[in-house]
Amino acid sequence: MATVTDVLHANDAEKVLPNGWTVKRLYDEARQATQCAYAPYSGFAVGAALLSRDGRLFTAGNVENGSYGLTICAERAAVVKAISHGVSDFVAIAVAGDTDRVETLASCGACLQVLAEFDRDDSLLVAFPSSGRLLIATVSDLLPVRFRMGL
């Protein structure tokens, strides 16, 4: 069984993404997006910055609800924003919040499943802070056995 640390890549903040983006720059956008979070219940503002292959950026914060289970994580809010602009080919998403615990910002299972839906060749990257470093992993590293419709 893989542990979280097994699947983490080396610190790769300067990794160059398409259109001149770096993981570090994407992460900075995610940090900025925490300002857009609506998180009055948990008090935990999360920001996500989703980069499309053609270099377009879609940012979002988590959107909580008084009926707690209706809360939408920042990652899923960013995906919905991109899809509603007709964009579905993604290369990376960065996630930020006021912690650097890997378990908290490497995306929850629900968000990984939603990201996997658009991960065409197992290359979609997730960038997140961990113990003072910025790490990246693929969605398929973090969710190796995703649900797929078997129709």
- Which of 7, 17, 36, 39 forms a contact with ligand THU (CB under 6 A)? 39
Work out how close the CB of 82 gets to ligand THU at its nearest, in angstroms, rounded to a whole number: 16
**Rg, the chain, Cα only:** 14
Rounded Cα–Cα distance for residues 96 and 68 (Å): 21
Residue 92, strand partner residues: 51, 125
* Interaction of residue 111 with ligand THU, rule CB under 6 A: yes
- The piece of 49-57, 82-90, 106-114, 136-144 that touches ligand THU (CB under 6 A) is 106-114
Task: Indicate the burial class of 112 (C-beta count within 10 angstroms; 0-12, 13-18, 19 or more).
Answer: buried
Q: Which residues bind ligand THU (CB under 6 A)?
A: 39, 42, 44, 46, 62, 64, 71, 73-75, 107-108, 111
